[in-house]
């Protein structure tokens, strides 16, 4: 494995982060280290909670690619946060199949219940509400994804209320 041609600014990433990047880059041929861009973005998000413009620039420099190319990946995928988010990130699918089965109404219900608009975070920092194009579970619509990991299907208003109550309860017991 070869070292990056031009190491990123040490203020952007800790040595432990750079070591994680190196492990990901090592999985690819030397001439294809840019293939690790998604893994590097995920590492930054795990460590910092979101991906800043400075982090994108540092990743680009580390991988030897244009900063705009990293930014394009960051903005294409819903899983990368470009600003701080709440403890529970709720991505509601509003693509056509979900919309036809009340996905837009599910989003409106959550906006009303949480007192925020899509793209906002509650004042207590618990919930961030986002819209997703497709979560790949059309047969189970409407669906939402909690923290990019937990898929919730057939989300009626009652199920949404139960989900929010359960997440609040889990947080208060933590």
pLDDT, mean of each 10-residue run, the chain (174 residues): 46 89 96 96 93 96 96 91 93 91 93 96 95 89 92 95 95 83
Expressed as residue numbers, the domain containing 37 is 15-76
Read off the CATH number of the domain in which 34 is found. 1.10.10
Read off the CATH number of the domain in which 127 is found. 3.40.30.10
Whole-angstrom distance, CA of residue 44 vs CA of residue 58: 10
Confirm whether pTM is higher than 0.85.
no
Whether 117 is covered by a domain: the verdict is: yes
Q: Are residues 31 and 93 in the same domain?
A: no
pLDDT of residue 1: 45
SS3 state of residue 77: coil
pLDDT of residue 16: 95
Whole-angstrom distance, CA of residue 110 vs CA of residue 86: 14
């Amino acid at each position: 494995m070869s070292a990056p041609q031009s190491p990123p600014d040490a203020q952007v990433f800790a040595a432990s982060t750079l070591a994680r990047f190196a492990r990901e880059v090592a999985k690819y041929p030397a001439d294809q280290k840019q293939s690790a861009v998604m893994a590097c973005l995920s590492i930054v998000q795990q460590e910092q909670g979101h991906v800043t413009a400075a982090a994108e620039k540092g990743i680009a420099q580390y991988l030897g690619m244009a900063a705009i190319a990293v930014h394009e990946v960051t903005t294409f995928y819903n899983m990368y946060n470009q600003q701080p988010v709440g403890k529970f990130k709720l991505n509601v699918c509003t693509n056509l199949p979900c919309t036809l089965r009340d996905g837009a109404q599910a989003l409106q219900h959550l906006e009303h219940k949480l007192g925020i608009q899509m793209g906002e975070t509650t004042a207590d920092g618990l919930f961030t509400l986002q819209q997703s194009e497709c979560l790949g579970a059309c047969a189970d619509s409407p669906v939402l994804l909690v923290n990019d990991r937990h898929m919730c299907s057939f989300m009626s208003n009652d199920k949404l209320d139960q989900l929010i109550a359960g997440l609040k309860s889990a947080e208060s017991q933590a």
